[in-house]
Amino acid sequence: MSRLLIDGGYPLRGEIAVHGAKNAVLPLLAATLLADGESVLHNVPPLSDVGGCLEILTDFGCRVRQEGRTVTVCPDQADKPVISDRLMRRMRSSIVFLGAMMARFGEAHLSYPGGCELGPRPIDLHLSALRQLGAVITEERGQLHACLPDGRFHGETVSLAFPSVGATENILLAAVTADGVTTLLNAAREPEISDLAAYLTACGAHIHTDGGTIRIEGVPRLAAAEHTVIPDRIEAATYLAAIAATGGDGTVTACCPQHIDTVLPLFSEMGCQLSVYADRVRLKAPRRLKRIPYLRTMPYPGFPTDAAAPLLAAATVADGTGVFVENIFECRYKYVGELLRMGARIKTEGRVAVVEGVKSLSGAAVDCTDLRGGAALVVAALAAEGRSAIGELQHLDRGYADPESGLSAIGARIRRVDP
Ligand code: EPZ
């Protein structure tokens, strides 16, 4: 397995661009199943999760083409409403295809996504909402079999017990061609949801969003459209954390600063000077970061759970102690054990992590435990003294496209080596 070798202690200086958002492009690819003709998506990040989605669409019988960061999908000949067990295991987030598969094919057969590095990944909110919209879904021996007795979803008022991103996406994809009006209450409000709604609207859907309420008037058919994927706000936050943790002075470009407007104040609190422009953020770090006294993750527009790990890594070398509270996933601290191997001082108890900043970390051999935990290890290794070797990169490659290129261009001593 390949590893990232990082010689830490070098301040990052220069410009690094972010890619299209992983968590936007996955539901967008599911949505192309609903639109007759050839949809074109631009700014598609070259990620393994995207590759998984393209395989799923191809297995449905869609015509899929990828040229650089542009993907075209035509579902007109698609007729296989099945996602293989192999792809479901590779892509837990492929549950977001369920609503689109049923709307397109009238049925769907896939395996239960199962737990992952962040704890159990229940889909009860997805299933109960789709059942309210007319789906009959049976779960047996880890398999899901779903069908629409009336051939179409029917509009309903659905209220989510939790503003689940995935459930909101599934309901959107089911409702846009449903018979009647659907009102979704307590919907997720992440920018990736707005991006999905923008594409669906371009395809002819009738979607009205008012804060956490989304009203969808079903239309009979959707027509293909062209769409550019929004920038990845978590990748932007990750690179800012790396610049901050190394005492650097760098600019993250091709991003959307307003999507991280609950993250940026934390960098200011750590003593960083920020210059925010329309599509870029410049961060000038102090010699030593101040602590983050308290950080709690919340659904958007609160602090995003995915950005907590990279910031916690930066906090390990800050001056003082801080408390991190994770309110979205059950066990988001698997990577902490790897940070301890680098000399970090962290105590975790359930959803709480207490981080006592140390003067410096020391490079070590560590392994990614999950995607954002892997990002935390890269940030820590860039700040550490000496060499780190980071393994299990398949986790990192799900959400960061070729990070070593962008980081080495701003002064990081980082390279990927095969065994
Ligand atoms: C999406 O996951 C993102 N993934 C996650 O990013 C992100 O952390 C999360 O939203 C929250 O913002 C993609 O978009 C592919 P949820 P999702 O449904 O949809 C519970 C990353 O690193 N829940 O909002 O799975 C669930 O267990 C990934 O890029 C139920 O209980 O998140 C969790 O505790 C990680 N029942 C909470 O809600 C359900 O039916 C939030 O889950 C669904 C969810």
* Number of domain units in the chain: 2
User: 64 forms bridges with which residues in the sheet?
Assistant: 73
Q: What's the pLDDT tens digit per position in 295-308? A: 999 999 999 999 99
Q: Which domain does 157 fall in, by range? A: 22-228
Q: How many A from CA of 249 to the centre of ligand 1?
A: 33
Going by alpha carbons, the residue nearest to atom 3 of ligand 1 is 23
202 and 253 part of one domain: no
Same domain, 214 and 288: no
Determine which of 46-50, 343-347, 382-386 has the lowest per-residue pLDDT on average.
Answer: 46-50
Range 128-149 average pLDDT? 96
Instruction: Say how many residues make up the chain.
Output: 419
207 and 273 co-located in one domain: no
216 with 258, same domain: the answer is no
Q: What is the mean pLDDT of residues 1-21?
A: 97
Q: What is the CATH number of the domain that holds 177?
A: 3.65.10.10
Cα gap 211→180, rounded to integer Å: 22
CB 226 near ligand 1, within 6 Å: no
Concatenate the DSSP letters of all residues of 107-171 into one string: EEEEE----BTTB----HHHHHHHHHTT-EEEEETTEEEEE-TTSS-B--EEE-SS--HHHHHHH
Tokens matching residue 179: 């018979």
Q: Which of 207, 228, 249 is the last residue of a domain?
A: 228
The pLDDT value given to residue 120: 78
Least confident segment among 65-79, 109-123, 169-183, 291-305: 109-123
Residues 241 and 187 reside in one and the same domain: no
Minimum-distance ligand 1 atom for the alpha carbon of 165: 24
Which of 204, 228, 252 marks a domain boundary?
Answer: 228
pLDDT in tens, 101-126: 999 999 999 998 876 778 878 999 99
**Rounded CA gap, 61 and 55, in Å?**
10
Check if 124 has its Cβ closer than 6 Å to any atom of ligand 1.
yes
Ligand 1 test: best mutation among 235, 303, 328, 369, most atoms within 8 Å of CB? 328
CA-CA distances (angstroms) from residue 333 to 55, 118, 142, 176, 355? Answer: 31, 8, 27, 37, 12
Distance 186 CA to ligand 1 centre (A): 15
Domain termination site, one of 228, 250, 281 = 228
Contact 395 CB / ligand 1 (< 6 Å): no
Does one domain contain both 261 and 216? no
Query: Which residue has the CA at smallest separation from atom 27 of ligand 1?
Result: 121
Query: How far apart are the CA of 295 and the centre of ligand 1, in A?
Result: 19
Burial zone of 5 (CB within 10 Å; 0-12 exposed, 13-18 middle, 19+ buried):
middle
Q: What number is the average pLDDT over the span 241-264? A: 98
Q: Which of 91, 121, 165 to mutate to test the pocket of ligand 1 (most atoms within 8 A of CB)?
A: 165
Distance from the alpha carbon of residue 164 to the mean position of ligand 1, in angstroms:
6
* Whether pLDDT at 247 is above 80: yes
Q: What is the mean pLDDT of the chain?
A: 96
Helix ranges, 272-370 (H): 305-315, 336-340
* Catalytic residue positions, numbered: 116
- 144 and 288 fall within a common domain: no
213 and 201 in one domain?
yes
Ligand 1: distance of its center to the CA of 299 in Å? 10
Is it the case that residue 416 has pLDDT exceeding 70?
A: yes
The pLDDT score that the predictor gives to residue 92 is 75
Q: Does residue 183 have a pLDDT over 80?
A: yes
Tokens of 256: 């959307």
